Amino acid sequence: MRLDWLDDLLAVLDTGSFARAAEARHLTQSAFTRRIRAIEDSIGAELFDRNRKPVALLPSVRAQEPEMRALAAGLRRLRDTLRRSGAGGAGAISLACQHAITTTVSPRLVALLTAQGGHSVRVRSGNRDECLLKLLAGEVDFAVMYALPGEPALPEERGFDAVTLGADTFLPVAAPGVAGAAGDWPLIAYPADVFLGQIMDRAILPRVPERIRFARRAETALTLAACEYALAGIGIAWLPRSMVSGALTDGRLVALDDRLPDQRLDIRMIRLAGAAAPALDTAWERIAKGWGGA
């Protein structure tokens, strides 16, 4: 069983549909469907109930979820160990970053870690829960993600070290002319089961003025996709200011925080507590001090 096969099957389990799984795996839906067919052909059995909408794994296959997750984690750890050995052993630092942070924050993290002949760095991107799972499974050394100010980055922080690196603003933006027209305002939404969707439900939508009504035009878990939808004039999206600063400057997007609420988000770096290799302690301190000193 190949690791990418397991990741494809688990993506369907985690997202509930081929369409969302394809998005999570950064593939078109048609390409993802072909990959699923190739897995079934190689195994010699159908794994999905295609009479259901959306298509779902057969109950007998779903029952193997714990074994699939354990096998995927084991294969990933083995792969990473072999990569480190092949690269000469020590020196590589692994980061798991939320998708938006991978684009906006990780370049600075990598610059701090690689400065003056420092560590080599591997950056993995995922949603918030995926980043935490990678950290807990030992697949990465640090996780970097958003958190609401004043709230813990995790439901239970015992067993973790955390440091706040800085802040960003979750900002309502749209292409010029999209907002303010008569009728409902078009909205680009996030799924309720991802972190930014929860921020929308908890911290944004309850503060929207009653006179403003939204008509949902699109939904995506990926901020990069939401940004492209906003640039295309599809609707209003809440996005990290760091992601859209260039588009705001050149006028491709306009900020709507004069009419709609925004939300500060802290940028947190997290690691498992306890004894760590000296190189990891050095990397942690380099990021924490280098960020604060910039």
| End-to-end CA separation in angstroms for the chain | 46
d(CA 189, CA 17): 18
What per-residue confidence (pLDDT) applies to 28?
87
What per-residue confidence (pLDDT) applies to 2?
83
Q: How confident is the prediction along the chain (294 residues), in pLDDT tens digits per residue?
A: 788 888 889 988 888 888 888 898 888 888 889 989 999 888 888 898 888 888 888 888 888 888 888 888 888 777 766 665 555 444 578 899 998 899 889 998 998 888 866 678 889 998 888 898 888 888 899 999 999 998 765 655 557 888 899 999 999 999 998 977 656 899 999 999 889 999 999 999 999 998 889 999 999 999 999 999 999 999 999 999 999 999 999 999 999 999 999 999 999 999 987 756 778 888 888 888 887 644
Question: CA geometry: angle at 237 spanning 31 and 255, to 5°?
Answer: 140
Tell me, yes or no, if the pTM score tops 0.75.
no
Backbone angles phi, psi at 114, to 5 degrees: -95, -5
Residue 294 buriedness (CB in 10 A; 0-12 / 13-18 / 19+)? exposed
d(CA 124, CA 131): 8
For residue 208, the SS3 value is coil
Question: How many other CB atoms sit within 10 Å of the CB of residue 43?
Answer: 11
What per-residue confidence (pLDDT) applies to 89?
45
d(CA 186, CA 236): 6
| Cα of 17 vs its chain's centroid, Å | 18
Question: What domains can you pick out in the chain, each with its CATH number?
Answer: 3-68 (1.10.10.10), 89-165+266-293 (3.40.190.10), 168-265 (3.40.190.10)
User: How are beta strands 263-272 and 254-255 bridged, if at all?
Assistant: unpaired
d(CA 260, CA 247): 19
d(CA 84, CA 90): 7
For residue 93, the SS3 value is strand
d(CA 77, CA 85): 12
Distances (CA, A) of 234 to 74, 216, 218: 42, 10, 8
For residue 149, the SS3 value is coil
Backbone angles phi, psi at 27, to 5 degrees: -130, 160
